[in-house]
Structure 1
Amino acid sequence: MSSVLWTPAPAAFQSSNLARFSMANGFDPRDYETLHRWSIGDPGAFWRAMWDFAEVIGDPGGSAFLRDDNAPMTGSRFLPEATLNLAENLLRGDEERIALIEADESGHFQTITLGELRRLVARTAHGLRAAGVGKGDCVGGILPNRVEGLVALLATLSVGAIWSSCSPDFGAAAIVDRLGQIGVKVLFAAPRYRYAGKEHDISARLAEIVAAMPTVTTLVLTGQPGPKPDCAADCISFDDFGRDAPLSFERVPFDHPAYVLYTSGTTGAPKAIVHRAGGVLLQHLKEHLLHGDVRPGDVMSWYTNTAWMMYHWLISGLACGASVVLYDGAPILKSADRLDPSPLWKMAERARVTHFGTSPKYLATLAAEGYAPGRLHDLSSLRSLLSAGAPVSPGQFDWVYDHVKRDMIFASISGGTEIIGCFLLGSPIHPVRRGELTVKGLGLAVGVMDERNAPVIGRQGDLVCTEPFPSMPLAFWSKDGDARYHATYFAARREIWTHGDVAEMTAYGSGVIHGRSDTTLKPGGVRIGTAEIYAACENFAEIEDCLVFGAPIEGDEEIVLCVKLNDGFALTPELAMRIRKAIREGASPRHVPHRIHAVQAVPYTLNGKRVEGAARATLEGKPVKNMASLANPACLDEYRALDRSKAA
């Protein structure tokens, strides 16, 4: 059976942005490897060419790249003389075009033109200036994925201030752990939000948060009018904040801070990662225009909250002339007897979505429910389906092409909050191969190194990047931020970015992610990833979710698999035998778990990622750092009580 699931039609190949960019810079688009070598070997020329191709608004200056030979990764600078404003580039174009589509789980659907969006941003920017916010100040959000949140972000950027946001479902401690680090001056917040059919009132939580963050002078409340939180800050409704005013943009240097994002925080206090305006813009334009083939008039959606990097990634589609969908609520609704996976697909059909972003977990749920979007919805506009957040199993590639759409790109992409972008991603001019991430990102010297620090192909190792790129963090926000930054990414290899993923590069330039380095299993001293185990478990109708981690035993490590079963199933010896057989045949004998336990829940971070380390620490009787970063910390009590003698 061929591993190739999709290939570009010749006409689509030739008309793609990536082919046009290649030819404009003197390269044959059929020779991606040479183009990639140029993009990392002459970074100044490549990123300046990207600036010109994307028609960035701003002044690029005279120098495109200054290399620091003593610290090539951490000391080099891109476009050091450039000035720009990120919001100005996101808000460019025809004022009559549809910029935003606001949708939610209830079926709400509203379009906003670019002109309407610009007027809202101008008014909110006036309010920020009146509240004393200027260049370099921090503005925060505790907001659902609706228009007001994006308006607040764009207004913040327009005045040269720094934006940082949390989702309203975060607990008070988790929000203070994040926004409390950076000295927020004005806070936008939604006292109420709706999720999975339930209304949630967080007014009391907001009062607690503001009390713990004395730098907040103004609290701007979005959504329906209601009682104001009892707090010391000035409270004002979003509708009353600011007045109509001309829209203006504060041009800032390329390296000026634009966003502060946060790591999951499961190994300590969340790291506050500062991202620069120019780096965000160029990286996202490159990924959308070249790798995603986004064009004016396209419609982009990604199921995300306002805290995840994919929110910032999604809204940069505005700079490409695309419409962006802001979806608020649950992706799957529950009734008494079934799940309803239709909300996102109804939205995609109505909005004529061209680029649909999701996660492997969501795809697995669709498969388990027997939900076939391609049969149930008109997806004729869909050109690309993208997935991020975890490795996509080979079987899921087949499922996507069988049950969503055959004539489209399916791109599994991988990067991180730390780079606000992707190391490995899709391409409109390459075939899609089962289980693989299609190409290394242009401008990114991505590779895999083994324990000898030697580059390897066809073998597992650490995912690394050996040359600088503009969306690297500007800093970590704290007194010891530089030290934490270097310790996190450069301690293993001096001036080489070690990302923390176990990966493998193929001979033809694609990649495979096997899991996180900190969740790597080492039974018998042999290093193996977790992705293959998760992939095998996805094929069982009995298993709703699962978690795999290593547990120490007599100087070695054994693999522990915890399964959350669907209603009506039990972990019988026969089921355990079938699970082990599937893992052995789908991965290897070394991947077979020594212990299988049935559990009631799997621990996740607030950003929706499994937390293997927390389960392992709990089983070992060790403290779990920063429980506030977990969405369901109470479930760990069950892991503390796991009895080896009762395992299947």
Structure 2
Amino acid sequence: MSKTLWTPSPERIANANLTHFIKYVNSRQNLQLVTWEDVYNYSITQIENFWEDLFHYSAFDHSGELVSILSEYKMPGAEWFKGLKINYARNALQRLGGEYCITSRREGFPTVRIKSEDFRSVSLKLASALSKLGVKKGERVAAFSSNLPEAIAGFMATSSIGAVWSSCSPDFGTTAVIDRFGQIEPKILFASESYQYAGKDFDLLPKIKEIVAGIPSIVKVILIPAFSDFEGDETRTHTEIPDDFVYLSDLITGYDELEEPVDVEFSHPLYILYSSGTTGKPKCIVHGTGGVMLQHFKELYLHTDLKPGDKLLY
């Protein structure tokens, strides 16, 4: 028998998110679940009930009339929560708690703590800008970017208007990026203009130009500066950029925040990931809006016991 390394205290168990969820399910379904194993078995034997319980417990803002929890028990073809509409960004942005929502650290620049109100404002102004640029529901917006707050804001903006997000790391070669983005034909490209690694500066503008030349669908490039504190202080690597390029902060100047994010079908694509491409061109992997929201809620709330004010390192 393996030695138990750690057991939570009775107080921690009593205050755990999972404990609260168990009480909710027991009350709603007239059950007597007690342990993690009980909940797990319930989730795989009463599939529709479990996900319906989780959806109601999450209290996600949504619209529409529910037709069915699960349309068919087959893959592919299963459709969840048919009839409901939802928006990822609306729910994420309205749940930003506390004064700050992101702490960002990048090599060569100061650590930045971004205020929730500033992040929300930039995200919704970006959404207005994307809409003005002609991006419509279902169209794709891509990012060739480091893991930066501006990229997260770009994702929120994209989701707000019902468009579909995709991204690649800036250390990818241009062929690898074009192999991926070329399949989805993005209308807009967010791009980090540069980054530092091991004390060395990497200028990404030549790569970005090559990507744009290889993907005719791109009509505008939104440049993410080398550094920004989301309060007006930023560092730019370039003084001259092509006409169809614009710095993010310049783009959103003069735009009001998007008033009403667009509700989309529960299964509407939220973002597109890719396979490794070891057996040919990378294959697109589409993740639906409602599924991502519920899965993330389950993982972060139930699995990791994340609570308001906690910090998640990614």
Q: What's the TM-score once normalised by structure 2's chain length? A: 0.89
Q: Which amino acid aligns with 1:226?
A: H
Q: C-alpha separation between the residues in 1 aligned to 2:160 and 2:41? A: 36
- 1:281 maps to 293
- 1:123 maps to 125
- 2:203 maps to 201
Matches within 5 A, 1:423-438: none
Q: Which amino acid aligns with 2:267?
A: D
- 1:31 maps to 35
Report SS of the residue matched to 2:66. coil
Q: Which amino acid aligns with 2:245?
A: C
- 2:192 maps to 190
- 1:59 maps to 63
8 Å CA contact retained: 2:100, 2:115:
yes
Q: Which amino acid aligns with 1:178?
A: R
Q: Measure how far apart 1:229 and its partner are.
A: 5.3
RMSD: 1.9
1:298 aligns with 2:310: yes
Q: Which has the larger radius of gyration?
A: 1
Single out whichever of 205-214 and 97-106 deviates more from structure 2.
Answer: 97-106
Q: Which amino acid aligns with 2:250?
A: D
Q: C-alpha separation between the residues in 2 aligned to 1:96 and 1:18? A: 23
- 2:230 maps to none
Q: C-alpha separation between the residues in 2 aligned to 1:163 and 1:252? A: 14
Matches within 5 A, 1:340-419: none
Matches within 5 A, 1:106-145: 106=108, 108-145=110-147
Q: Does 1 or 2 have the higher relative contact order (CA < 8 Å, sep 6+)?
A: 2
Note the alpha carbon deviations across 1:350-387, whole angstroms, 9 max, x for none.
Answer: xxxxxxxxxxxxxxxxxxxxxxxxxxxxxxxxxxxxxx
8 Å CA contact retained: 2:194, 2:237:
no
- 1:575 maps to none
Q: Which amino acid aligns with 1:140?
A: A
Sequence identity (%):
35
Q: C-alpha separation between the residues in 2 aligned to 1:45 and 1:60? A: 19
Note the alpha carbon deviations across 1:524-583, whole angstroms, 9 max, x for none.
Answer: xxxxxxxxxxxxxxxxxxxxxxxxxxxxxxxxxxxxxxxxxxxxxxxxxxxxxxxxxxxx
8 Å CA contact retained: 1:220, 1:237:
yes
Report SS of the residue matched to 2:5. strand
Q: C-alpha separation between the residues in 2 aligned to 1:107 and 1:192? A: 12
Q: C-alpha separation between the residues in 2 aligned to 1:15 and 1:28? A: 18
Match of 2:246 among 228, 233, 236: 236
- In structure 2, do the counterparts of structure 1 residues 4 and 251 end up closer, same or farther at CA, with 3 Å as the change threshold? same
Note the alpha carbon deviations across 1:257-316, whole angstroms, 9 max, x for none.
Answer: 1100111212221111111000000001011000110111111012xxxxxxxxxxxxxx
Q: Which amino acid aligns with 1:277?
A: T
8 Å CA contact retained: 1:228, 1:235:
no
- 2:95 maps to 93
Q: Which amino acid aligns with 2:219?
A: T
- In structure 2, do the counterparts of structure 1 residues 264 and 29 end up closer, same or farther at CA, with 3 Å as the change threshold? same
Q: Measure how far apart 1:52 and its partner are.
A: 1.8
Question: What is the total number of aligned residue pairs between the two structures?
Answer: 298
- 2:3 maps to 3
Report SS of the residue matched to 2:19. helix
Report SS of the residue matched to 1:25. helix
In structure 2, the gaps of 5 or more residues are 226-235
1:245 aligns with 2:236: no
Q: C-alpha separation between the residues in 1 aligned to 2:76 and 2:180? A: 24
Q: Which amino acid aligns with 2:290?
A: G
Match of 1:40 among 39, 44, 53: 44
Q: Which amino acid aligns with 1:25?
A: V
Q: C-alpha separation between the residues in 2 aligned to 1:37 and 1:11? A: 25
In structure 1, the gaps of 5 or more residues are 303-648
